[in-house]
């Protein structure tokens, strides 16, 4: 073994989701080998000094769209710039989405995205796969994706009419099939029909700016859609995960469903935790358009803290970003009509800092809960735990050395993403990545990258994740419909007129 494959992170405070403790972390060949004090390690081992710093599991961003072809253009951060920026921010894994269109093979869609990602990724990644139509082939391919391609999560869109949006039948079948094969269903909960009609109405009224985007899809639309998919998933005893929970109303629907016993998880995103929808009314078009995403950020400025408190209380479990970036010239496709503004915002680089600042620095989250909602719970829900999401012997050495006292100011001028705009511009954040380690290799240190395109790996995930499915299977035992045994009715039966 060469010294390149050995690393000691010394003198820091290890912060896992369950506890914090002072310990050194010794890594061999990409895997954490020992965690403890006064470790004996081979001579020549490279040492990272972590004294005064926090040593925590690398972030897992559950929701990204790198280089997504969308609305006549393509997201400007690709699997290279996007994952490199992720590492700078302390995120060591993303889960992106393969989005096969209606009529397209799911396997072809998966392969297309994987072929885009493999040569470019700088951090590890996995793929959720969207179901945008229904047929026997789709059903068969879902099983193939689960058994042969390491996919255990399928995405349903209730928005983007004619493109990805599905109706009740497709949602029902997808939930049913997912439950049979041990997968979880993810849902973008909105209402494409209503949004379409409301958008046309607003444009006709002359409201063509980004504020029209927010007005066309108020939070009651998101809440109603969330309730609807909760109902369908629960009918089929299928685990459900609501992506980008943007509003109080939608979060309340999730809490109520959880209180009734539904197996449902909610994912707020960095954008929704760090800023709000008042930006759509900003006088500068570029600024307002830079915040356009679906579902929109909410104009109620108390929403971000509300969602953060739900993360603290465990009602919401993990965080993503929906990173899907478009530069100003791309957003300008909709300069005269908000319906043509490509939907999407940044976040993959700044999620950890924004959540630290708005959560930990504000006294809402403690450091352990921070790790839970930025890494561990994602690993658990998507069945990658304890390979990912914890600092423990045997786990992948995806580690961030984090300075909780240092500050940085977020800016498009200094960020590592390709996009020319940052929705967190000017935000001063406590919590700065000092060093990022991916599979035991230092990939980012003191502002410098030591990583190449393709260094990241695809992480296959198994079905029937115990964290999710233990409860589903228990519910199955008690909830399965049972008939009532009774004597047959033998009395007279009314004759329907015209019948023989």
**Footprint of ligand URP on this chain (CB under 6 A)?**
65, 188, 293-294, 322, 324, 343-344
Q: Which does 293 bind (CB under 5 to 8 A by kind): ligand URP, Zn ion, none?
A: ligand URP
Question: In the complex with ligand URP, which residue's Cβ is closer, 26 or 157?
Answer: 157
CB neighbour burial string for 137-156, b if at least 16 within 10 angstroms, e if fewer: ebbebbeebbeebbbbbbbb
* Closest to 215 in 3D by CA, of 288, 272, 150: 288
Residue 239's CB is within 10 A of a number of other CB atoms, namely 27
Please, what is the minimum distance in Å from the beta carbon of residue 188 to Zn ion?
4
- Considering only residues 322, 350, 367, 396, which one is a binding residue for Zn ion as defined by CB under 5 A? 322
- Is 124 an interacting residue with respect to Zn ion (CB under 5 A)? no
Question: In the complex with Zn ion, which residue's Cβ is closer, 322 or 398?
Answer: 322
Measured CA to CA, the distance from residue 464 to residue 47 in angstroms comes to 39
Measured CA to CA, the distance from residue 376 to residue 60 in angstroms comes to 8
* DSSP letter, residue 5: G
* Closest to 377 in 3D by CA, of 444, 324, 310, 322: 310
Q: Which does 169 bind (CB under 5 to 8 A by kind): Zn ion, ligand URP, none?
A: none
The CB-nearest residue to ligand URP is 343
Question: In the complex with Zn ion, which residue's Cβ is closer, 284 or 496?
Answer: 284
- Is 161 an interacting residue with respect to Zn ion (CB under 5 A)? no
| Contact between 417 and 325 (Cβ < 8 Å) | yes
Please, what is the minimum distance in Å from the beta carbon of residue 293 to ligand URP?
3
Please, what is the minimum distance in Å from the beta carbon of residue 92 to ligand URP?
22
Which residues are 241's β-sheet partners? 186, 265
* Closest to 103 in 3D by CA, of 81, 70, 133: 133
Measured CA to CA, the distance from residue 301 to residue 102 in angstroms comes to 37
Q: Which does 284 bind (CB under 5 to 8 A by kind): ligand URP, Zn ion, none?
A: Zn ion
Please, what is the minimum distance in Å from the beta carbon of residue 175 to ligand URP?
19
Measured CA to CA, the distance from residue 15 to residue 1 in angstroms comes to 29
Please, what is the minimum distance in Å from the beta carbon of residue 188 to ligand URP?
5
Measured CA to CA, the distance from residue 147 to residue 417 in angstroms comes to 35
Question: In the complex with ligand URP, which residue's Cβ is closer, 65 or 461?
Answer: 65
SS3 476: helix
Candidates 129-137, 177-185, 282-290, 405-413: pick the segment binding Zn ion (CB under 5 A).
282-290
- Is 188 an interacting residue with respect to Zn ion (CB under 5 A)? yes
Residue with tokens 């469903």: 257
Please, what is the minimum distance in Å from the beta carbon of residue 438 to ligand URP?
25
Measured CA to CA, the distance from residue 457 to residue 455 in angstroms comes to 7
Question: Which residues neighbour 334 within 8 Å (Cβ) at sequence distance 6 or greater?
Answer: 289, 292, 340, 341, 342
Candidates 30-38, 316-324, 347-355, 422-430: pick the segment binding Zn ion (CB under 5 A).
316-324
Please, what is the minimum distance in Å from the beta carbon of residue 273 to ligand URP?
15
Candidates 5-13, 81-89, 280-288, 394-402: pick the segment binding Zn ion (CB under 5 A).
280-288
Question: In the complex with Zn ion, which residue's Cβ is closer, 354 or 442?
Answer: 354
| Contact between 314 and 17 (Cβ < 8 Å) | no
- Is 170 an interacting residue with respect to Zn ion (CB under 5 A)? no
Residues at the interface with Zn ion (CB under 5 A):
188, 284, 287, 322
């Amino acid at each position: 073994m060469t010294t390149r494959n050995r690393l000691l992170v010394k003198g820091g405070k290890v912060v896992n989701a369950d506890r914090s403790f002072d310990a050194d972390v010794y890594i061999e060949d990409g895997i954490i080998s020992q965690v403890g004090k006064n470790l004996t390690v081979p001579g020549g081992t490279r040492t990272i000094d972590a004294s005064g710093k926090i040593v925590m599991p690398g972030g897992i961003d559950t929701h990204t769209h790198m280089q997504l072809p969308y609305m006549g253009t393509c997201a400007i951060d690709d699997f290279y710039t996007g994952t490199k920026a992720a590492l700078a921010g302390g995120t060591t894994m993303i889960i992106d989405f393969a989005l096969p269109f209606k009529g397209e093979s799911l396997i072809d869609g998966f392969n297309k995205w994987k072929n885009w990602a493999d040569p470019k990724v700088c951090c590890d990644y996995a793929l959720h796969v969207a179901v945008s139509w229904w047929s026997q082939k789709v059903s068969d391919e879902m099983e193939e994706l689960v058994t042969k391609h390491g996919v255990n999560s399928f995405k349903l869109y209730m928005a983007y009419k004619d493109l990805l949006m599905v109706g009740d039948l497709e949602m029902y079948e997808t939930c049913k099939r997912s439950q049979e094969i041990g997968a979880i269903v993810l849902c973008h909960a909105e209402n494409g029909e209503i949004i379409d009609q409301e958008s046309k109405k607003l444009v006709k009224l002359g409201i063509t700016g980004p504020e029209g985007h927010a007005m066309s899809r108020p939070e009651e639309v998101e809440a109603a859609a969330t309730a609807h998919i909760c109902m369908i998933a629960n009918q089929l005893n299928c685990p459900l995960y609501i992506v980008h929970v943007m509003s109080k109303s939608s979060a309340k629907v999730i809490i109520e469903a959880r209180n009734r016993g539904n197996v449902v998880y909610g994912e707020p995103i960095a954008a929704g935790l760090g800023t709000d929808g008042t930006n759509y009314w900003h006088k500068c078009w570029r600024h307002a358009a830079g915040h356009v995403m679906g579902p929109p950020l909410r104009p109620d400025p108390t929403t971000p803290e509300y969602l953060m408190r739900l993360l603290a209380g465990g009602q919401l479990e993990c965080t993503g970003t929906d990173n899907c970036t478009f530069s100003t010239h791309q957003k300008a496709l909709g300069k005269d009509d908000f319906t043509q503004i490509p939907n999407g915002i940044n976040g993959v680089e700044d999620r950890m800092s924004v959540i630290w600042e708005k959560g930990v620095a504000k006294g809402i989250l403690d450091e352990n809960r921070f790790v839970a909602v930025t890494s561990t719970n994602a690993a658990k829900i998507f069945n990658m735990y304890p390979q990912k999401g914890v600092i423990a012997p045997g786990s992948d050495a995806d580690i961030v050395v984090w300075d909780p006292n240092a500050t940085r100011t977020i800016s498009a001028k200094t960020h590592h993403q390709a996009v020319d705009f940052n929705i967190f511009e000017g935000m001063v954040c406590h919590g700065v990545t000092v060093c990022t380690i991916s599979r035991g290799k230092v990939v980012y240190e003191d502002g410098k990258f030591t990583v190449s395109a393709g260094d990241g790996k695809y992480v296959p995930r198994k079905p029937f994740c115990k964290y999710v499915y233990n409860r589903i299977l228990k519910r199955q035992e008690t909830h399965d419909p049972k008939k009532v045994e009774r004597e047959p009715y033998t009395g007279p039966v009314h004759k329907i007129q015209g019948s023989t």
